[in-house]
Amino acid sequence: MNASDDFARLRQQVSASIVGQTHIVERLLIGLLINGNLLVEGLPGLAKTRAVKALARNLDADFSRIQFTPDLLPTDVTGTEVLHDSGSTRNFRFEPGPIFANLVLADEINRAPAKVQAALLEAMEERQVTVAGTTHALPPLFMVMATQNPIEQEGTYPLPEAQMDRFAMHVMVDYPEAEAEIEIVRLVREEERNGDAANSQRTAASQVAQDVVFAARKAVRDVEVSPAVERYAVDIIFATRFGARLHDDLGRWIQVGASPRGSLALDRASRAHAWLKGRHHVIPDDIRAVAHDCLRHRLQLSYEASADGVSADEVLDLLLTHVAIG
């Protein structure tokens, strides 16, 4: 069985636990394929935590969850030096924090102060942490899924735009359809009847190895991008910076456009999307499919956009209708 078949099996297994949220499942897999981190936003109870737990359960990977709170310290995330006394000798030994896992869920990241957010974002960017002058490398397979709720913003610490840029994608999760919610109720009811033990045994026998992820990443790197499609992606990025050239409203609504990180994220995510669809080349539909997730958090909207009640997604909708395909 090749990496494509194994990834299809992984997707099927995760989707079996996450009903009505196919978008977040696909984005988690794309995050794995591009070695990127995800910021997931949605109301409580929309399976954000359940999705990453299902991914960890079906992948041969360590999972840790960090609940961000106002009293959290950076060492609660990275780990710290602890004094060990064996009687005859006393020495400091590094005790790794929850960041040293393959899949890390940073729950409600905007509820912790800036120092804690910075510690997490440094680990995401450098793939290492430094404690007491010593650098400790994170696992080769490492992905952070940070969540935040769009409500209850009192007492929160919003991520600065420059730090938001560190996330490959900003994924929005919405309510499921009525039929899907019926399936959710039935699924949870069935899980309650069978118990967690049966589910754990079934999953352990069918976990996908980490080597599959590394092989899949190599296959994604080999996905072809034609000069015309490459130009189309870059034209989208430039339209976020010079929107007035395409439409007056874009010029009024966008204050700051996407950085070159946006170009890189769009390129990587579109290649991963094409590979998941079974293609070895990127088409414009792949670019458009991931454009909102790759760019919505990289746009700084103006006061005029706020006054007009326009969201980043609506700005991107307008932008995509005006960028021509080479």
The widest CA-to-CA distance across the chain, in whole angstroms, is 75
pLDDT at 320: 95
- With 0.85 as the threshold, say if the pTM is over it: yes
145 exposed, middle or buried (CB, 10 Å; 0-12, 13-18, 19+)?
buried
pLDDT at 187: 83
Helix (H) or strand (E) holding 182: helix 178-194
pLDDT at 153: 66
Looking at residue 297, its amino acid is: H
User: Cα–Cα–Cα angle for 120, 162, 295, nearest 5°?
Assistant: 105
Taking each helix axis from N to C end, the angle separating 284-295 and 260-276, rounded to the nearest 10 degrees, works out to 130
Residue 256 CA to its chain's centroid (Å): 22
265 CB-near residues (< 8 Å, 6+ apart): 34, 36, 168, 169, 294
The b-or-e profile of 103-121 (16+ CB within 10 A means b, else e) is bbbbbbbbbbeeebbebbb
pLDDT at 163: 81
The b-or-e profile of 9-44 (16+ CB within 10 A means b, else e) is ebbebbbebbbbbeebbbbbbbbbbbbbbbbbbbee
pLDDT at 266: 96
188 CB-near residues (< 8 Å, 6+ apart): none
The answer to whether the beta carbons of residues 69 and 112 sit under 8 Å apart is: yes
Q: CATH 1.10.8.80 in the chain, residues? A: 223-322
Q: What beta strand segments (E) does the chain contain?
A: 38-42, 63-67, 79-85, 90-96, 103-107, 128-131, 134-137, 143-148, 169-173, 254-256, 300-301
Q: Does domain 3-194 have CATH number 3.40.50.2000?
A: no
pLDDT at 201: 53
pLDDT at 288: 96
pLDDT at 132: 78
Per-residue pLDDT of the chain (326 residues; tens, 9 = 90+): 588 888 888 898 888 888 878 889 999 999 999 999 999 988 887 778 888 888 999 999 999 999 998 999 999 999 988 877 777 778 888 889 999 999 999 998 888 888 888 888 888 888 998 887 888 899 999 999 999 887 766 667 888 887 888 899 999 988 888 887 888 888 888 878 877 555 555 556 678 889 999 999 999 999 999 999 999 999 999 999 999 999 999 999 999 999 999 999 999 999 999 999 999 999 999 999 999 999 999 999 999 999 999 999 999 999 999 998 86
pLDDT at 42: 84
Q: CATH 3.40.50.300 in the chain, residues? A: 3-194
Fold exhibited by the domain 223-322:
Helicase, Ruva Protein; domain 3 (1.10.8)
Which residue matches tokens 């456009």? 257
